[in-house]
Amino acid sequence: MKGERMENFIRLAVSEDISNQIDEAQKQGNFAGKPYQFMRHLVLLGLSEYKAQIERETTPTAAPEEPPTTGAKIIPFPGVSLNQGDDFQDTLDGFLREMGYIE
């Protein structure tokens, strides 16, 4: 607390269980014997996580990308025959574009 201003500390009302967990965690780590620094560390961790959560919630998710066009041709079904000329695929593609099914 030496060198730090008192107004930077916030009093928190936490349950006895949470307080005990904080005390145990503080004693086991690098902050043993430094309760004020440990509480500051916890607050900064919590603030960072909170900001990240808010950012995830407010960042619009990108629309899924459309699969690339493969230029695949019509798959023939067994037992079905089509009287296809050389321009059948082009005619079909033109029809589908005209109807708005493909671009």
Q: Where are the domains of the chain?
A: 6-58
If you ran DSSP here, which 8-state letter would residue 4 be given?
S
At residue 12, the pLDDT reads 73
Per-residue pLDDT band at 31 (split at 50, 70, 90): confident
Q: How far apart are CA 95 and CA 89, in angstroms?
A: 10
At residue 6, the pLDDT reads 46
Convert 29-77 into a string of H (helix), E (strand) and C (coil). Answer: CCCCCCHHHHHHHHHHHHHHHHHHHHHHHHCCCCCCCCCCCCCCCCCCC
Instruction: Name, of 28-32, 60-64, 81-85, the range with top average pLDDT.
Output: 28-32
Q: With a cut of 60, say whether residue 19 has pLDDT above it.
A: yes
At residue 67, the pLDDT reads 61
Min mean pLDDT across 15-19, 49-53, 83-87 is at 83-87
As a whole number, mean pLDDT of residues 81-94 equals: 75
> Using an 8 Å Cβ cutoff, are 97 and 103 in contact?
yes
> Using an 8 Å Cβ cutoff, are 41 and 31 in contact?
yes
> Using an 8 Å Cβ cutoff, are 87 and 72 in contact?
no
> Using an 8 Å Cβ cutoff, are 9 and 36 in contact?
yes
